[in-house]
Structures are given as structure tokens and as C-alpha cells.
């Protein structure tokens, strides 16, 4: 195992300490201002309503275009269609 000389260990320690201080300094800065909360909430509600409406519309469109005919009996389900 290679061991660093004393001077290089000291340099590594000081570099780590500077990086730690820089990181702590960034964490202590105030967070950037966010959007106005009531406006942000309204936008989210509108987006949710639009997505629900789109999903319902897609479901109605799929229901009208795709037909499903369930078999009337087990025998009909097991017979090959031809």
C-alpha cells in the first residue's frame, strides 16, 4: 500500500477542508424564490384537469373504435377462429 508523504497528506487534508467549507457555504445560502404559491397551485390544478380530460377523451375514442366481442361459451373461446 503506497503511503503519501507527510506534506502531500497535509495538502490533501487542506484541499478536502476547502471543498467542505465551500459546500457548506453553498448550503447556507438562501434558496431561490419560487413562484407565487397560489398561482403555482392553480396551474397544477389546471394541468391535472386537462390531463384527466385527455385520458377520458382517449378512453371514449378507444371504446368507439375498438370492439370487444366476448365469447358466449367456453367452447367458443377454445375453438380456433377461422
pLDDT the model gives residue 34: 62
pTM: 0.40
Q: What is the pLDDT along the chain (82 residues), one digit of tens a residue?
A: 468 889 999 999 999 999 999 988 888 777 766 656 678 888 899 999 999 999 999 999 988 888 777 778 888 878 877 6
Q: Which residues contact 40 (CB under 8 A, 6 or more apart)?
A: 34
pLDDT the model gives residue 54: 97
What DSSP designation does 82 have? Answer: -
pLDDT the model gives residue 1: 46
Angle CA 50–54–57, to nearest 5: 135
Amino acid at each position: 500500500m503506497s503511503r503519501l508523504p507527510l506534506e502531500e497528506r497535509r495538502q490533501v487534508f487542506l484541499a478536502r477542508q476547502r471543498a467542505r467549507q465551500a459546500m457548506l457555504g453553498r448550503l447556507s445560502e438562501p434558496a431561490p424564490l419560487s413562484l407565487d404559491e397560489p398561482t403555482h397551485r392553480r396551474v397544477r390544478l389546471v394541468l391535472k384537469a386537462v390531463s384527466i380530460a385527455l385520458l377520458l377523451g382517449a378512453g371514449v375514442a378507444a371504446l368507439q373504435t375498438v370492439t370487444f366481442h366476448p365469447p358466449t361459451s367456453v367452447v367458443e373461446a377454445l375453438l380456433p377462429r377461422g
